[in-house]
Amino acid sequence: MAITLKEKIGYGFGDFASSMFWKLFSMFLMIYYTDVFGLTPASVGLMFLLTRIWDSINDPLMGILCDRTNTKHGKFRPYLLWMAIPFGAIGILTFLGPDFGVTGKLIYAYITYTLMMMVYTAVNVPYSSLLGVMSSEPKERNSLATFRFIGAFAGGIFVTSTAAYFIGLFKEAGANDAQGYQYTVSIYAILAAILFIVTYKWTKELVKPTKKEQSSLKDDLKDLSKNASWFIMIGAGVATLVFNSLRDGSMMYYFKYYVKNQEISGFGEVGWEKLAATYMTMWLVSNIIGVLLATPVANKIGKKQTFIGAMFLAAAMSIILFWVSPDQVLLLYGLNIFIGISAGIVLPLIWSMYADISDYSEWKNGRRATGLIFSSSSMSQKMGWTVGGAIAGWILSAYGFEANVEQSTESISGIRLMLSVFPAIGALLSAVFMYFYKLDDKFMKKVNVELAIKRGETQDE
For residue 196, the number of C-alpha atoms closer than 13 Å in the C-beta half-sphere is 32
Displacement of CA 261 from its chain's centroid (Å): 30
Cβ contacts of 362 within 8 Å, gap of 6 or more: 210, 213, 368, 451
Angle between helices 228-253 and 409-419 (to 10 degrees): 140
Integer Cα distance of 365 and 359 in angstroms: 10
Q: How confident is the model over 32-41, as pLDDT tens digits?
A: 999 899 999 9
Q: What is the DSSP string of 14-77?
A: HHHHHHHHHHIIIIIIHHIIIIIS---HHHHHHHHHHHHHHHHHHHHHHHHHHHT--BTTBSSH
pLDDT of amino acid 351: 73
- Number of separate helices (H) and strands (E) present in the chain: 17, 2
Integer Cα distance of 159 and 23 in angstroms: 7
Instruction: Kindly tell me the burial class for residue 76, based on how many C-beta atoms sit within 10 Å of its own C-beta (0-12, 13-18, 19 or more).
Output: buried
Integer Cα distance of 41 and 31 in angstroms: 9
- If DSSP codes are grouped into helix, strand and coil, which group holds residue 439? coil
pLDDT of amino acid 220: 64
pLDDT of amino acid 417: 95
Integer Cα distance of 291 and 16 in angstroms: 14
pLDDT of amino acid 254: 95
pLDDT of amino acid 458: 47
Q: What is the DSSP string of 256-272?
A: IIII-SEEETTTEEE-H
Helical residues (DSSP H) of 68-176, grouped into ranges: 77-82, 84-94, 101-134, 138-172
pLDDT of amino acid 321: 95
Do residues 39 and 106 make contact, with C-beta atoms less than 8 angstroms apart?
Answer: yes
Integer Cα distance of 91 and 112 in angstroms: 8
- If DSSP codes are grouped into helix, strand and coil, which group holds residue 229? helix
Q: Which residues of the chain have pLDDT under 50?
A: 212-213, 457-461
Displacement of CA 268 from its chain's centroid (Å): 36
Neighbours of 11 (CB within 10 A): 23
